Chains A and B, each alone.
Chain A
Amino acid sequence: MASIPMVDTVTGPSMSELWKTRRDKSRFQWSSLGLLTPAFALLIILFLVPMGFAVYLGLTNLTLVGPTAVKWGYTGTQNLLRLKSDTSFWSSLWATGIFIVGSIAGVVVVGYVLASLLMRARPWMRMIVGGIVVVAWMMPAVTAGMTWYASTTGGGAFATLLGTPNTNFLDNNPLLVVTIASVWSMTGFAMLVMGAALRNIPSEAIEAATVENASSWQRFRMIILPLLRPTMTAIVLLTGLLALANFSLIYIMTQGGPGNATNILPLYSYQQAFTYNNLAYGALIGNVMVVIATIFGVFYVRITARRL
Chain B
Amino acid sequence: MKAFWRGALPRVIAGTAIIAMSTATLASGGVTQAGAAPKVTISVAYAANTTFDTTPLGLTWWTSVKAQYEKLYPNVTVNLIAVQGGEPDFLTKLALDYHTASTAPTLAQFPSTEIALYQSTGYLMSLSPFLKNSTWFAQYPKVIQDEGLIGGKIYAVSSGENNVGLYYDKAILRKAGIPLPWQPKNWAQIISAAEKIKAAEPKIIPLWVDAGTSAGPNGAGYGILNLLAGSSTPTIQTSSGKMVVGSKGLLQTLNFFHTMFSKGLGAPTSQLFSPNNAPNIPSADFKAGTLGIAVGANFLAGNWTKQVSFPYWPQASTAMGIAGLPKINGGGYASTLSGWDYGISSGATGAQATAAFNFMNVAQGQTNLINAGNWAGWVPPVQSDWNVPLYTNFAAPFNKEFGLLLPSSSELPTSANYSVWVQGIEEASGTLASKPSTTGAQAMSQMASFITNQLSSSEVTTLP
Contact = CB atoms under 8 A, between A and B. Distances in A.
A293 interface: no
A15 B83 CA distance: 68
Interface string B149-183: 00000000000000000000000000000000000
Contact of A275 (B212, B214, B275, B419): B419
Contact of B269 (A69, A171, A256): A171
B393 interface: no
B431 interface: yes
B116 to A, nearest CB: 9
B117 A65 contact: yes
Interface in A60-77: 63-67, 69-70
Interface string B418-433: 0110010001001100
Contact of B88 (A85, A168, A260, A274): A274
Contacts of B239: none
Nearest to B118: A65
A255 B268 contact: no
B275 A168 contact: no
Interface stretch (B17-25, B131-139, B254-262, B446-454): B446-454
Interface stretch (A17-25, A101-109, A149-157): A149-157
A169 to B, nearest CB: 10
B419 A277 contact: yes
Interface string A93-119: 000000000000000000000000000
A216 interface: no
Interface stretch (B91-99, B301-309, B329-337, B394-402): B91-99
A87 B269 CA distance: 26
A67 B121 contact: yes
A57 to B, nearest CB: 14
A257 B454 contact: no
Instruction: Determine the interface band of chain B, counting residues with CB < 8 A from chain A.
Output: 20 to 34
Interface string B100-137: 00000000000000100110111100000000000000
Contacts of A69: 95, 99, 121
Interface string A152-167: 0111000000000010
A154 B268 contact: yes
Given A65-B114, A66-B117, A257-B430, A276 B419 contact: yes
A285 to B, nearest CB: 13
A14 interface: no
B213 interface: yes
B430 A258 contact: yes
A277 B420 CA distance: 10
A88 interface: yes
B404 interface: no
A63 B120 CA distance: 12
A71 B37 CA distance: 38
Majority SS of interface residues in chain A?
A: loop
Given A64-B92, A149-B275, A258-B430, A70 B270 contact: no
A154 B92 CA distance: 32
Interface string B192-230: 000000000000000000001110000000000000000
B52 interface: no
A55 interface: no
A141 B121 CA distance: 36
A113 B106 CA distance: 60
Interface in B27-72: none
A87 B273 contact: no
A277 B416 contact: yes
A250 to B, nearest CB: 12
Contacts of B114: 65
A187 B120 CA distance: 49
A276 B117 CA distance: 11
A31 B49 CA distance: 58
Nearest to B450: A88
9 contacts: A63-B416, A64-B92, A66-B117, A154-B268, A168-B270, A171-B269, A255-B275, A257-B214, A277-B419
Interface of B: 88, 92, 95-96, 98-99, 114, 117-118, 120-123, 212-214, 268-270, 273-275, 416, 419-420, 423, 427, 430-431, 434, 449-450, 453-454
